Structure 1
Amino acid sequence: MLNLNLQNMGRRAVAAAVSLWLIPISILVNRIVPDPYMDEIFHVPQAQKYCRGNFRNWDPMITTPPGLYVTSLAYVASLFPGLYCLQAVSSFSDSCSTAILRFTNGILAVACSILIYEIITHLRPSIDDKKATLCSLVLSLYPLHWFFSFLYYTDVASLTAVLATYLFSLKKKYFLSSLLGGLSVLMRQTNIIWMLFVACTGVIDFTLSHKNDCLKVDKSIVTKEKDTQDAYNRGASVATKLRKRRVGKGLGSRNNLTSQASGPTICSSGLYDEIRDIIIISWNFLGELLVTFSPFFVIFMAFVAFVCWNGSIVLGAKDSHAVSPHFSQLLYYSLVSALFTVPASFSLQQAAVLFGQLSRNKLFSCFQFIVALTICSLSVKFFSIAHPYLLADNRHYPFYLWRKVINYHWSTKYLMVPLYVYSMFSIVTNLARGQKKIWVLVYVLACAGTLIPTPLIEFRYYTVPFYLLILHTRIDDNKSWLILGTLYLAINCFTMFMFLFRPFSWNHEAGTQRFIW
C-alpha cells in the first residue's frame, strides 16, 4: 500500500513538473509564432477541416494517417463547453485554433512523461521513487521530443501511443496493448514495426514465463521424489512405496513435458539456445499463443490490406517519400543515440568494457570489428542518400550537419565510420546487460525496418527507437542522469532561442523563416 502511494506521488510529481515548463513555454511560442509553421501548414488546416465536420477532404501533401486529428477532435470537444460558456468561442470550429491544436501535444507530453515513469518502475521494481522521478523528468527533456511538444506535429502523439502499447504489453494486457498499437499506427504508419516489436517481446515474455513454470514444476517434483525416497529409506509402508512409484511415473511424464518445452539445456545463454527454446515452447503452447496474440495479427493483416489498397505505405507525396535502401540511416541513428546517452556510451568504463570483450577472444572479436567496418564503409559509399529536401532546406539542423560535417570533404564520411561502429557496439552491449540476446536482435531488426527504408535524414524519426533504447539502458548513478539532464536542457534552450529569437528571410520566398530540428 505504501509503495502504491509512493508511485502515485511519483506520477503526480512528474506530471506537475512537466506542466510547469510546458504551459509558459507554450504561451511564449504561440505569442511569437502564432501562425502555422513548416509541416503545421498541412496539419493545422486538415485538423480544422475535421472540426468543421469535413472528413472527406484530404490534403495530398500529408503523408501520415489522421490519428492526430481525431485525437485533437476529441480533445477540443472536451474543451468546447467551457470555452463556449466563457464566450471565448462562438462555434465549435472556432475552438480549433492553432494554439489550441498545438496544446494537444502538450497534454500528450504530460501523459507521455507518466508512461515513462510507469515503464521505468515496471522494468526496475526496486528503483527508488525519487530516482524514478528524476529519470522520467530527464527523459521528458529529450530534445527531439521536448521541442515538438510545442508544435502541431505527429511525433509526440506517435511516441505516446507506442509507449502505452509497450507498457500494457509489459503488464501482460495484450488485448489493450494491441488496440493501442493500432492507435499508434493511425498516428504514424511506420509504427507498425514497433507494434510488431512489442508483439515479439510479448512472445519472448510468454515463452519465458512458461519456461519458468516448467522449471518450478520440475523442482517441486524433484523435491517430492526426494521426500518419498527418504521415507522409503526409513522403512516406510508398502503404501508409501506404491505412492513413490506413482510419483516417479508422474515425474517421468512431467519431465518429458519439461524436456519438450525447454529443450535439453534449461538455462540457455546463447542466441541459438534462446531461439530454440522460443520455438519449442511456442510450438507446445501454440493454441494459447495464437489466442493471446491474435489481436496483433488482426491489426497487422489490416495494415497489409491497407498497403495493398493504397499502393504504398505513404499516404501523400509518394514521389518524395519513396522507399529507398538508406543503410547509412542506421549508422546516423547509432551515433546520435550514443551521443544522447553519453554517460553510458562514451565513458571510460564503457570503453573498458568494450576493450575487455575484444581481448577475451581476440581473433573472433577482430573479425567482428573488421566485418563491421567493411559493412559500414560500403553503406556509406553506396547507400548514403542526399534527399532533395535535405539539400534545399537550410531551416533544419541536419542540413548543416550534412554540409559542415558529413559531406565537408570526401574523406570525412569515411573517417566517421569507426565512430559509427563504436556506437553500434556500445548500444548492443548496453542492451545486452539487461536483456536477452533475442530481445536485442529483435530491437536491432525493428530499428533497421523503420530507418533503412527512409530516404530523408530526420532526427525526429529516431525518437521512438531512442526511448526504447534508453529505457533499457542501465544508467544507475544520479550523476549520469544529471549530466544527461544538463545536456538536454542546454540543447533545448539553444534550439528554442534560435527558433523564437533568430528568424531570417529567404530571397526566393516571402515570410519569416526559423531554425528547427
Structure 2
Amino acid sequence: MNKLQSIQNDVLKICKVIGIIMIISLSILKIINSNQIEPYVDEIFHIPQTIKYCEFKFKEWDNKITTLPGLYILALIYSNILSMFGIGDGIWISHCSVVVLRSFNVFCLIITFFSIYEILKISTYNLLLSPASSLSSLKINQKEVIENKNSINNTIILRTIHLSIFPIFYFFHFLFYTDVVSTCSIFLTLLFSLKNKFNLSSFFGLISVTIRQTNIIWVFFITINNILKLYEENKEKQNYIFKELNLIKDIIEFIKFSIFNLLLIIKKFIGFIMVGILFLIFLYYNGSIVVGDKSNHESSFHVSQLFYFSLITMLFSLPSILISSLLKRFGNQNEGNQNENEKKILLYDPIEFLKNINFKYLIVIIIGMVLMIWKFTYTHLFLLSDNRHYTFYIWNRFIEKYSIGRYLPIPFYCYSIWFIWKVLSENRSKLWCIFYFLSTAMVLLPSPLVEPRYYIVPFFLFQLNQFHYYNNFIIQNGTIGRFFY
C-alpha cells in the first residue's frame, strides 16, 4: 500500500467515525430541543446576547455575562453561513434560534475530533521515533513503526473517540455554553503549535481568550512549553540528559537559556507575545479579568479546587490504567523476569502506591491538606442555590451535611495527585510537569465556584500528554505486537 492510499484509508476511517458520532449527537440534540426548546440554565444569558448580535445591536450588553463576546461573534458568523444555504428559514428553525445556536456546539464536534486526532498522531509518532523517548528501551525502530502504522492509527482513532465523548465535555455540546468552543480553540492553538505554525497558533489563542479570559493561562502554557522544547532540543544537541538534572538546577538552566536566546524567542513567538500584550491592555482598561458581573465572580484562593480536579482526573483516567496494570500483573505473575517497560505499568496502580509509600511523609501531607481544606474551601452562593447541577447534591447531601465530609476524600486526593504526577513524568520532563501544575493552579485557584466544566482543559492536557497505553505493546522477537487499550 503506497503512502497516498494509506492517507486515503485513514481519512475514510475518520470520516466514517465522525459521521457516526455526528448522527448520534444530532439525534440527541433533536430529543433535547423537543423537550427543552427554551434557553436552559446559563443559556438564558448567552442566547439573548447572541440574538442581539444577530440583530447587529453590538452596543447592547447583558452585565450578568462575565466573558468576552468571542462566542457570540462566532455564532453570528455560523448562523449567517447556515442562512446562505437556506437553513434557518423554517418555522421551528429560525435565524439565531435556540436550535441553531445549540447546533453550533454540535458542529464543533467535527473540529474537536480532528484536532484531538492530529494532536495524538503528532505526539504518538514523536514518542515512538524520538531517541529520548521512554520507549526507546523497547528498541522500536522507524521500520517497525512504519510496518505497524495501520495498527497505530487505529489505536489513535479509538483514543480520539474515547476523549471526544468525555462525559463532562460531551454534555455541553447540546447547550449553548462557552465551554465547547473555548476548548476547541485551545485544541487548535495546541495543534498548530505542534505543527510549528506559531502565528496561526497564536491567532487561535487570541480567539480562545475572547471566548473565555482564563484561556490566557493556557496560551501562556503552550508558549512556555514551546520555549521548553527549544531548551530540551538544545540540551539533546549537547548530549545533555536534562531529565537527570536536579529540578532547581534545571529551572536555573532554563531561565539562563531563555535570557541568552531572548531575541530568538521574541522572533519565533511574536504572535503569542502580542496576545499577551493585548490581554494586559484589556486588564488595564477593564480593571479585572471578569467582564460584567464582578460581584459574583470575585477571586479567591480556593486550594480545594486542585483536590477536586485531581480526583476527577484520576477517576476518569484510572480504569484504563488499572486494566493495563491487572493484565500485566496477572499475565506476568508466573514469569520470573519483567522488562523495565512492563514494570512501569504497575507503578500506576494503588497497590504499588501503598507498597512504596512513606507513611511518615504521608501523615505530614495529610495534616497539611486538612489545614488547607479547613482554611481554603469556599461555598459559593450558586453552589447552594441552583439544584440543576450535580455539585449541588454532592455538596448539600455529603460535604456540608457531615462535618467530616470534606475531609474523608483526603486519601484519594493524595493518590490522585501522585497519580497525575507519576503518569505525566514518565513521558514529560519535570519542568513540563511543573508548568502544567502551575497553569492548572492559576486557572482553578481564583474560582470560588465548584464547576466540573472548569476542569475540562487541564483534564484534556493531561490525557493528551500521557502515554501509558503505549506501554502495552506486546514485544516479541524485537517487533511490535498488537495494541490494546
Q: TM-score, normalised by structure 1?
A: 0.77
**Post-superposition offset of 1:394:** 1.2
Residue 218 of structure 1 corresponds to none
Residue 326 (structure 1) aligned to one of 302, 311, 326:
302
Shift of 1:108: 0.8
Give 1:198 shift.
0.6
Q: Which residue of 1 aligns with 2:38?
A: 35
Partners of 2:40 and 2:24 lie apart in 1 by 22
d(CA) in 2 for partners of 1:214, 1:410: 56
2: distance between equivalents of 1:134 and 1:282? 38
Q: Identify the residue that residue 21 of structure 1 maps to in structure 2.
A: 24
Residue 399 in structure 1 maps to residue 407 in structure 2: no
Unaligned runs of 5+ in 1: 216-261, 486-517
Contact 1:116–1:136 (CA under 8 A) maintained in structure 2: yes
- Assess if the C-alpha contact under 8 Å between 1:376 and 1:417 holds in 2: yes
Q: 1:271-305: CA deviations, max 9, x gaps?
A: 23432442343334322112112221221121122
C-alpha deviation, 1:154, in angstroms: 0.5
Q: How far did 1:162 drift?
A: 0.6
Contact 2:199 2:271 in 1 (8 A): yes
Give the letter for the 1:65 counterpart: L
Listed as ranges, the matches of 1:439-478 within 5 Å are 439-476=432-469
1:413-436 residue CA offsets vs partner (Å, 9 max, x unmatched) = 222111111111011101111111
Moved more, 421-430 or 406-415: 406-415
Moved more, 75-84 or 344-353: 344-353
Aligned to 1:248: none
Deviates more, 1:119-128 or 1:29-38: 119-128
Correspondence for 1:155: 179
In the TM superposition, residue 102 of structure 1 has moved relative to its aligned partner by 0.7
1:176-203 superposed Cα distances (whole Å, 9 cap, x missing partner) = 1111111111111111111111111111
Alpha-carbon distance in structure 2 between the residues aligned to 1:435 and 1:46:
42
Q: Judging changes above 3 Å, is the alpha-carbon distance between structure 1 residues 88 and 440 closer, same or farther for their aligned structure 2 residues?
A: same
| Of 100-109 and 350-359, the range deviating more from structure 2 | 350-359
Label 1:40 to 1:69 Cα distance change in 2 as closer, same or farther (>3 A). Answer: same
Helix, strand or coil at the partner of 1:313: coil
Aligned residue for 1:437? 430
Q: Which amino acid aligns with 2:30?
A: I
Matched, 1:113 2:113: yes
String of CA shifts for 1:328-368, please: whole Å, max 9, x gaps: 011011111111112256666677557657877x7xx5555
Cα distance between partner residues in 2 of 1:192 and 1:60: 22
Q: Please list the CA deviations of residues 358-406 of structure 1 after superposition, one character each: whole Å capped at 9, or x if unmatched.
A: 877x7xx555534432332112101111111101111110011112232
Please show how residues 115-194 of structure 1 align to structure 2 within 5 Å. 115-125=115-125, 128-194=152-218
**Cα contact 2:225–2:432 (8 A) shared by 1:** yes
SS in 1 for 2:434: helix
Task: State TM-score, norm by structure 2.
Answer: 0.82
Q: Which moved more, 1:135-144 or 1:93-102?
A: 93-102
Aligned residues: 427
Q: Which runs of 5+ in 2 are unaligned?
A: 126-144, 146-150, 327-344, 473-483
Which residue of structure 1 lines up, in the alignment, with residue 232 of structure 2?
A: 208
- 2:305 equivalent to 1:312: no
Amino acid at match of 1:166: L
The alpha-carbon deviation at position 145 of structure 1 amounts to 1.1
Q: Which residue of 1 aligns with 2:73?
A: 70
Dislocated runs of 4+, deviation >4 Å = 344-360, 365-368
Q: 1:286 to 1:311 in 2, by over 3 A?
A: closer
Distance 2:159 2:11 in 1: 16
Q: Is the 8 A contact 1:102 1:152 kept in 2?
A: yes
Paired letter, 1:32: N
Q: String of CA shifts for 1:209-263, please: whole Å, max 9, x gaps.
A: 2333444xxxxxxxxxxxxxxxxxxxxxxxxxxxxxxxxxxxxxxxxxxxxxx6x
Farther off after superposition, 375-384 or 399-408: 399-408
Q: Secondary structure at the match of 2:255?
A: helix
What is the deviation of 1:82?
2.1
Change (3 A) 1:300 1:266: closer
Query: Does the residue aligned with 2:427 lie in a helix, a strand or coil?
Result: coil
2:376 is aligned to 383
- What is the aligned partner in structure 2 of residue 103 from structure 1? 103
Provide closer, same or farther for how the CA distance between residues 268 and 286 of structure 1 changes in structure 2, counting only shifts above 3 A. farther
Q: Which amino acid aligns with 1:376?
A: M
Please list the CA deviations of residues 96-142 of structure 1 after superposition, one character each: whole Å capped at 9, or x if unmatched: 11100111101112210111111111110257111111111111111
Determine the structure 1 residue equivalent to 2:222. 198
Please state whether the residue corresponding to 1:128 is helix, strand or coil: helix
CA–CA distance in 2 between the matches of 1:20 and 1:342?
A: 29
Shift of the alpha carbon at 1:169? Answer: 1.2
Would you say the 8 A contact 1:18–1:140 is kept in 2? no
Cα deviation for residue 78 of structure 1 reads: 1.1
Q: CA, structure 1 residues 197+87, in 2 after alignment: closer, same or farther (shift >3 Å)? A: closer
Q: Distance in 1 between matches of 2:375 and 2:430?
A: 30
Which residue pairs with 2:338 in the alignment? none
Alpha-carbon distance in structure 2 between the residues aligned to 1:89 and 1:95: 10
What is the CA-CA distance between 1:6 and the residue it aligns to?
A: 4.4
Question: Is contact 1:14–1:113 with CA below 8 Å preserved after alignment?
Answer: no
CA contact (8 A) 2:321 2:468 kept: no
Q: Distance in 2 between matches of 1:458 and 1:53?
A: 32
- Between the two proteins, what is the percent identity of the paired residues? 34
Q: Distance in 2 between matches of 1:41 and 1:314?
A: 19
Mapped to 2, the partners of 1:6 and 1:214 lie a distance apart of: 41
SS class of match (2:191)? helix
**CA spacing shift, 1:468–1:6, aligned 2, 3 Å:** farther
- Residues 87/200 of structure 1: CA separation in 2 closer, same or farther (3 Å cut): closer
Instruction: Report the aligned-residue RMSD.
Output: 2.7
- Aligned pair in 2 of structure 1 residues 213, 19: CA closer, same or farther (>3 Å)? same
- Check whether the contact 1:165–1:180 (CA below 8 A) recurs between aligned residues: yes
- Corresponding residue number in structure 2 for 1:238: none
Read off the aligned partner of 2:57 and give its amino acid letter.
Answer: N
Whole-angstrom distance in 2 between the partners of 1:408 and 1:87: 51
Higher Rg = 1
Secondary structure (helix, strand or coil) at the match of 1:53 reads coil
Looking at structure 1, the residues matched to 467 and 121 of structure 2 have their Cα atoms a distance apart, in angstroms, of: 13
Alpha-carbon distance between aligned partners in 1 of 2:76 and 2:181, rounded to the nearest angstrom: 14
